[in-house]
């Protein structure tokens, strides 16, 4: 058994803090452009975006709840809630892709063409990373250390949109009804900084393991390498004829 996994779960408070930070980033990032617009009714968007926001926000809360249960050693209850997590993750994939394609259709109808097709690579790659890390976490369910880290990685890759909305609010000043997606898609470079900033959470995990265990867990190294590669490559890939054709095909079958 992995020596890291042999550590008592009750002694591992670091991951509770990390999960709570994910909740704070998710809700805080979307507060100006979504949550704070719901009460006055100024949010502008189709009903699907509400379902999208509910599912993806619920995921971060579930992660925190599951991390607390594991830390307290309540593993039977943790496993039962894990079934909810599988159902929620499945719904997130379908709704996330549907929302991305709906945004693509809006952009194409508005005449943004290849800019919208290129931008589709951001949500699609994020969902692909989420699925990959989530499946890895399920595969490693009996190795608690790997399972825990892959679940956290699956959540981290979803937070790019929240961090990007913080930058959007700072750049535009915010306002009633204002949110990304209403105008022309921004250049893909705008997604590079939020993605790299989020990798600081992965770095924190590596540093934590190094200081407390003497070496970083392989999940951080594999996950960090994959995330960095995707973040750096999706910009150039988004402009290739293959991706643009793929995006157009997705728009066609979705329409």
Q: What is the pLDDT of residues 199-210, one digit of tens each?
A: 999 999 999 999
**Which residues, other chains included, contact 99 with Cβ-Cβ below 8 Å and sequence gap of 6+?**
48, 49, 52, 123
Average pLDDT over residues 113-137: 96
Q: Could you say which DSSP state residue 178 is in?
A: -
pLDDT number for residue 213: 87
C-alpha 181/C-alpha 105 separation (Å) is 11
Give which of 31, 26, 25 is closest to 55, Cα–Cα.
26
SS3 for 18-83 is HHHHHHHHHHHHHHHHHHHHHCCCCCCCCHHHHHHHHHHHHHHHHHHHHHHHHHCCCHHHHHHHHH
- pLDDT at 242 (0 to 100): 97
When pLDDT is averaged across residues 5-14 and rounded to a whole number, the result is 56
Q: How confident is the model at residue 11 (pLDDT cuts 50, 70, 90)?
A: very low
pTM of the predicted model over 0.85? yes
At residue 8, the pLDDT reads 47
Identify the pLDDT of residue 193. 81
- Token code pair at residue 128: 């692909």
Q: State the pLDDT at residue 1.
A: 36
Instruction: Give the whole-angstrom CA distance, residue 155 versus residue 64.
Output: 11
Taking residues 36-61, report their average pLDDT: 94
Scored b (16 or more CB within 10 A) or e, 219-237 reads: bbebbbebbeebbeebbee
**pLDDT-based confidence at 39, cuts 50/70/90?**
confident
Give how far Cα 40 sits from Cα of 37, 70, 102, 169, 177, Å. Answer: 6, 38, 25, 18, 10
Residue range 202-231: mean pLDDT, rounded: 95
The structure tokens 């949110």 sit at 179
Q: Do 223 and 149 touch, CB atoms closer than 8 A? A: yes
Confidence of residue 36 (pLDDT cuts 50, 70, 90): very high
- Give Cβ neighbours of residue 108 (< 8 Å, ≥ 6 apart): 116, 117, 251
pLDDT of residue 47: 94
pLDDT band at 4 (very low <50, low <70, confident <90, very high): very low
Are the CB atoms for 125 and 133 separated by under 8 Å? no
Average pLDDT over residues 91-103: 96
Model confidence band, residue 188 (pLDDT cutoffs 50, 70, 90): confident
Measured in degrees and rounded to the nearest 5, phi and psi for residue 152 equal: -70, -40
DSSP tag of 174: -
Torsion, Cα of 122, 230, 138, 199 (10° steps) = -90
**168 falls in which pLDDT band (50, 70, 90)?**
confident
Per-residue pLDDT band for 9 (boundaries 50, 70, 90) equals: very low
Output the pLDDT for position 3. 42
Q: What is the pLDDT of residue 139?
A: 96
């Amino acid at each position: 058994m992995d020596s890291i996994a042999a550590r008592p779960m009750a002694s591992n408070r670091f991951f509770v803090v990390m999960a709570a930070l994910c909740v704070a980033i998710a809700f805080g990032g979307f507060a100006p452009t979504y949550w704070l617009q719901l009460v006055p009714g100024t949010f502008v968007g189709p009903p699907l975006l509400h379902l999208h926001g509910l599912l993806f926000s619920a995921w971060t809360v579930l992660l925190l709840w599951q991390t607390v249960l594991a830390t307290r050693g309540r593993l039977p209850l943790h496993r039962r809630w894990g079934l909810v997590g599988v159902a929620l993750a499945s719904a997130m994939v379908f709704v996330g892709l549907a929302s991305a394609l709906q945004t693509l259709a809006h952009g194409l109808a508005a005449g943004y063409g290849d800019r919208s097709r290129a931008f589709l690579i951001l949500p699609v790659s994020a969902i692909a990373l989420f699925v990959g890390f989530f499946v890895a976490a399920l595969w490693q369910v009996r190795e608690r250390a790997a399972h825990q880290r892959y679940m956290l990685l699956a959540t981290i890759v979803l937070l790019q949109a929240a961090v990007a909305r913080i930058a959007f609010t700072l750049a535009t000043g915010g306002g009633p009804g204002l949110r990304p997606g209403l105008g022309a898609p921004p250049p893909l470079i705008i997604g590079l900084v939020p993605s790299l900033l989020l990798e600081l959470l992965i770095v924190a995990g590596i540093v934590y393991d190094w200081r407390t265990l003497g070496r970083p867990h392989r999940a951080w190294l594999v996950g960090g390498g994959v995330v960095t590669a995707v973040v750096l490559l999706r910009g150039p890939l988004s402009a290739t004829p293959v991706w643009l054709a793929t995006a157009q095909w997705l728009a066609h079958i979705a329409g």
